[in-house]
Chains A and B, each alone.
Chain A
Amino acid sequence: MPDNQPGTLWTRNPALAWREIEGRTMIISPTDSVLHELNDTGSFIWKLLDGVHSAEAIAARLVQEYEVDPEVARADTNALVGMLAAQKLLLRAAEPAPGATRP
C-alpha cells in the first residue's frame, strides 16, 4: 500500500499521457496501456497533484470549489490519492517543494 500519510506530497507520474476532455480526465499509462477516467471532481484533484499541494490542501480547495462537507472532501481526496498512487499514476514528490502548501 502506498504511504499516504497526512502531509505527503504526490505528483502526477510524468510518464503518463493524459488530457482533460469535456470535464473528464483521461489517463493512459504507457507501461500497461490501461485507460483511466476521472470525473469532474477527480479532474479537479488531479490537476492539483503537482508535488506542491498536499491532500489536505487539495481537500480544502475542493470544499471551496464544490461546497462539500470538509470531512467528505478529505475522505474522497484521500481515497482517490490512494487509488492513483497504488496504480503508480502518482509518485511521491521527492522533497517538499519550496512553498509547499501545508495544512
Chain B
Amino acid sequence: MSTAPAMTAAVRATPLMDGLIARTVAHGLPLSVHFDLTYRCNERCVHCYLDHEDYGELSTAEVERVLEELAAAGTLFLTLSGGEIFLRHDLERILATARRLHFDVSLKTNALLLTQQRAARLRELGVRRVQISIYSDEPAVHDAITKVPGSLERSLAAIPLLRAAGIQVKLACPLMKQNLTAYRGVMALAEKHGAGYILDLTITPMIDGSTGPVQHRVDAGALLPVLQDPALHSCGRMAPGETDRELSPGLSAMGSSVSSGIESDAYEDLPCSAGHNTCYISPYGEVTACVQLPLSAGNVRQESFQSIWHGGAGLERVRAVRESQLPLCAKCGIRRFCERCPGLAWMEGGDLLGAYERACELAEQKARLAGMRDAESAWHAAQRNAEKCIEASGSEPDSEFVGNSRRG
C-alpha cells in the first residue's frame, strides 16, 4: 500500500468545498456554526430583528466549553457575531480559545469600536474575515438607519485598518426603503477598499416573531429596477481564493447577510445548509438550525452541543424537509426563480413546508424579468382559486390549497 498521494489537492475554487459539504451533510456534521455572543448593540438599526437587552449571556467559561464541544463535533467554520461583538469584553480570550482549537473564524460587526491595535490583534488571533454592515455611502442615509450620528465614517475607517492587518473585509448591505438605491455606492466602496460585498433584500421579522422591522421592507414591485441592474449579476463580489461558494466570483451579488450557511449545489434536494451541516447558537445558549429559524433544539446550558445536534427535535423537523416534497412549492411553475427560505417560511407563514408571500412575489418579479409575462406562483394561484371557490360556494376552501396556516 502506498501512502501517496497524501495531499489530494490544494485548490482555491469550489469542488473541494462541494466535496466537504457533501460529506458533512451525509455524515451529519456541523461544519459551520454561527454563534452570537451578545444581542447588545451600540447601534439601533431600524430594521434589526434583535432585542438588545441582556437576559443573561453565556459566560466566558460557558462559551469556551461550547467551543471545545464544537471542535470535537467537527466544526471548522465559526462565525462570531451579535449584536455588536466588540461589546463582549472577553472577545480576545474567546478568540484565543478559538485559535487554539483551530477554527476558521469570521466576525460580523458594525466596526464602530475597531482600532488599529484591535485590527492587528484580530490578525494575531487568526480571524480570517470581518463582515461590516454598511447601508449606504451617504452618511445621512447610513446614520439614519443606525441612529448613530457619525457611524458611517467610523465604520468605513475600520476597513483600511483591517485590510492593512491582512484581514479580508466584506460589506453587508441589507436593502430597505431607506436605502434601496444605495447599493451602487456600497459596491463602489467595496471596490475602493478591496473588499467583498453582499446585498440583501431580506428584512426579517423580530426574532420573537413580531413584525416591526418588516415595515421597512421594499415592496416587491419597487425592486424591479434593482433586479434589472446588470451590475448585480456580472460582478465578482470577492477576491479570488475564497473558500466559500457564496463568495465565488460571478455569482449574483444578492444573498443573505444574516445567515452564515454555505451555499452550494451539493445540498441537492435540501432547502439549504440549516440543520444539516450548519446551525446557530444564541447568546443565551439556544441552538437552532439557523438564526432565521428560531425553533429551539436545546440549550447548551442544559446539555452538550453534541447531544443537541444529534437529538434535538427542532433540528429533526428542519432536517426532514425536502424541496421536492414541499406540498405547494414543489409544483410551482416559477420555482427556479424562487429563493424560498425555510426559516422565513416558518417566521412569516408559520409553516416550514409552506410558501410565503415575499418569496412568491420576488419569484414572480424575477420570472417576469426573464420573459414570463404572466408569471404566477403556485401560492398566488391557489389563493386566487380559493377566492373563486368562496365566491362560488360561500364555503371555506380546502386549507391544503391555501398553503399556509398562520402562526400565533
A residues touching B (Cβ–Cβ < 8 Å)?
A: 14-19, 21-22, 24, 26, 28, 30-39, 41-42, 45, 62, 66-68, 72-73, 75-77, 79-80, 83-84, 87
Cβ-defined partner of A31 (8 Å) among B6, B99, B104, B166? B166
Which residues between 230 and 270 of chain B lie within 8 Å of chain A, taking CB atoms?
241-243
- A28 neighbours in B (Cβ, 8 Å): 76, 104, 128, 243
Q: What are 13 A-B contacts defined by CB distance under 8 Å? A: A17-B102, A18-B76, A21-B74, A35-B16, A35-B20, A36-B7, A42-B6, A42-B7, A66-B1, A72-B2, A76-B2, A79-B4, A79-B6
- Assess whether B50 is interfacial by the CB under 8 Å rule: no
Task: Tell yes or no: B27 within 8 A of A by CB.
Answer: yes
Neighbouring B residues of A36 by C-beta, 8 Å: 7, 9-10
Question: Which residue of B has the minimal Cβ distance to A67?
Answer: B1
Are B126's CB and A18's CB within 8 A? no
A65 smallest CB distance to B (angstroms):
10
In the bound complex, how far is the Cα of B5 from the Cα of A31, in angstroms? 25
Q: Which chain B positions have C-beta within 8 A of A14? A: 99
A38 touches which of B6, B71, B241, B243 (Cβ 8 Å): B6
Any chain A CB within 8 A of the CB of B85?
no
Whether A21 lies near B23 (C-beta < 8 A) is yes
Contact yes or no, B20 A34, CB < 8 A:
no
Chain B residues with CB under 8 Å of A16's CB are 102
Determine whether B48 belongs to the interface, using a CB cutoff of 8 Å to chain A.
no
Closest 7 CB pairs of A and B: A42-B6, A17-B104, A41-B3, A30-B128, A76-B3, A19-B76, A35-B243
Contact of B6 among A15, A19, A22, A39 (CB under 8 A): A39
Distance (whole angstroms) from the CB of A22 to the closest CB of chain B: 5
**Is B3 touching A18 in the complex (CB atoms < 8 A)?**
no
> Cβ of B309: which chain A residues have Cβ within 8 Å of it?
none
Q: Across the interface, which residues of A come within 8 angstroms of B71, CB to CB?
A: 19
**Bound: A76/B8 CA distance, A:** 13
Instruction: Knowing that A42-B6, A77-B3 touch, tell me 10 more A-B residue pairs with CB under 8 angstroms.
Output: A21-B74, A22-B74, A28-B104, A30-B126, A30-B128, A32-B241, A33-B168, A34-B243, A37-B10, A39-B8
Give chain B interface residues in 17-56, CB to chain A under 8 Å: 17, 19-20, 23-24, 27, 29, 31
In the complex, residue of chain B having the shortest beta-carbon distance to the beta carbon of A35: B243
Q: Do A87 and B3 touch across chains, with their CB atoms under 8 A apart?
A: no
Interface pair A19/B128, CB less than 8 Å apart:
no
CB neighbours of B392 from chain A (8 A): none
Partner of A45, one of B6, B9, B76, B241: B6
Query: Once the chains are docked, how many angstroms separate the CA of A28 from the CA of B104?
Result: 7
Give the complex CA separation of A34 and B7 in angstroms. 14
A17-B76, A17-B104, A30-B128 given as contacts; is B4 within 8 A of A87 (CB)?
A: no
* A16 CB to nearest chain B CB (Å): 7
Contact of B242 among A18, A33, A38, A84 (CB under 8 A): A33
CA distance A72 to B5 in the complex (A): 11
